Amino acid sequence: MQYSRNIGHLSPSATLQLSAKAKEMLQSGRDVVSLSAGQPDFPTPAPIAEAAFRAISEGKTGYTASSGIPELRKAVASGYSARRGLEWSQSEVIVSCGAKFSLSILIASAINPGDRVLLPRPYWVSYPEMVLTWGGIPVYPEGDINGDSIRKAAAEGAVGVLLNYPSNPSGYVPTVEEMRNIADAVADTGIWVISDDIYEDLCYLDSGTPHILDVRPDLKERTAVVSGVSKTYSMTGWRIGYCLCNAEWSRLAGMLQAHTTSNPCSISQWAALAALEGSAEAQRAEMLQAFRNRRDLICSLLSNEERLQFERPEGAFYVFARVLVEGTLDSAEFCGELLEKEELAIIPGSAFGAEGYIRISFAASDEDIREGVRRLGRFLRGRYDT
């Protein structure tokens, strides 16, 4: 039998693979510390879980409209309209099985085979694979993403760009000027944008994360916004994400969803509605504060490591550090050896298109953060300084 070439050339998700290996080692009794998680380590707030129990007891357990229940689509549309000072209607919202599927159907609906899509580095692991799955070609700017790199990519045929701020893996949040520079180039070149805002509410700056539609609202027609409840409300397993985009884009993406997953879980949709209606704002604020404290803790611990160079993340829950060695570090080999020798799980930068770097998650207890950094330091000294 012949199998699909499109699927055959995908790589397994390095982040999921490493987390799985760490779990396996834990189950076999090894003392593994994991700073690899891509999810909050808090339970879903009780008022949200209670809304799910209510949905079950009220029998809201059948299929829903494939793009989501009207109540939730309306809540997303009005929340985003208020947040950005723009107008999205309910029909321009699709609720999906996680933001990951929102991204996938948006990309699928926007590209044709051979279309080039610009992915700033470091990128989230799944972007290149999604572009490849749908027959597109991922292209990467040489250095940081900015107006010049967008103009160059567009001149070489790029049709769209994916933006993700705060960034996974770096927690980077651009300045308003940087965002304006990007937005102006998007406006000049006419490419489309998918803005992955999944970490937008996990930002440690009082001023929040500058958004492309804040600096250039006129780009709304060709900008799709993706977000969800996974990270903000500690609901990764509930699988609810959503996107907002123009009517034609959402019609196409909605059809694809209808013929693939149909609606996301009905019960999770009612739970997500409770989250968006503000039933767990106190818990959300507490989780955000906990992440801010952990960010401060891990940055102060890591700053003692001379071989690590990093910028303080202003959002999400990761530190993306460059390991200072002679030549370029093989990050996968580094992380594999670290897991075997020190029983510490972190993610290699190669998974994000940034060889020489490592991603350290601080979605973990203070105790694990302290112990994890201790092990990392010991490993670095043993590997390079003896």
In DSSP notation, 227-247 reads EESTTTTT-GGG--EEEE--H
Where does this chain bind ligand PLP (CB under 6 A)?
Answer: 38, 98-100, 124, 164, 168, 196, 198, 228, 230, 236, 241
32 vs 229, beta carbon nearer ligand PLP: 229
**Distance of CA 375 to CAs 31, 161, 330, Å?**
12, 38, 19
Q: How many helices (H) and strands (E) does the chain have?
A: 14, 13
Q: Measured from the CB atom, is 236 or 246 closer to ligand PLP? A: 236
Min. distance of Cβ 8 from ligand PLP in angstroms? 24
Nearest to ligand PLP of 127, 310 (CB atom): 127
**Measured on CA atoms in the order 79, 83, 89, 92, is the torsion positive or negative?**
negative
298 neighbors 148 (Cβ within 8 angstroms): no
Please, what is the minimum distance in Å from the beta carbon of residue 241 to ligand PLP? 4
N-to-C CA span, the chain: 53
* Cβ closest to ligand PLP, residue 310 vs residue 318: 318
Burial class (CB within 10 angstroms; exposed 0-12, middle 13-18, buried 19+) of 327: exposed
The CA-atom distances, in angstroms, between 31 and each of 19, 217, 269, 342, 365 are 14, 51, 37, 9, 15
CB of 96 to ligand PLP, least distance (A): 8
Q: Compute the distance between CA of residue 279 and CA of residue 200 in angstroms, rounded to an integer.
A: 19
CB of 6 to ligand PLP, least distance (A): 21
Write the DSSP string, 254-301: HHHHHTTT-SPPHHHHHHHHHHHTTTTHHHHHHHHHHHHHHHHHHHHH
HSE value, Cβ hemisphere, 13 Å, CA-based, for 27: 6
Write down the least CB distance from residue 197 to ligand PLP, Å: 9
CB atoms near residue 115 (< 10 Å):
17
Nearest CB to ligand PLP, comparing residues 182 and 243: 243
3-class SS of residue 359: strand
Q: Which is nearer to ligand PLP, 99 or 110 (CB)?
A: 99
Give least dist CB 120 to ligand PLP, A.
12
The smaller minimum CB distance to ligand PLP, of residues 45 and 377, is found at 45
- Please report where in the chains the tokens 């050339």 appear, as a residue: 9
The residue number whose beta carbon is nearest to ligand PLP equals 98
- Minimum CB separation from ligand PLP for residue 366, in Å? 23
Contact 225, 213 (CB under 8 A): yes
Task: Tell me how far, at minimum, the Cβ of 223 lies from ligand PLP, in Å.
Answer: 16
Which residue's CB is nearer to ligand PLP, number 196 or number 314?
196
Smallest gap from Cβ 101 to ligand PLP, in A, equals 7
- Residue 79 or 98: which CB sits closer to ligand PLP? 98
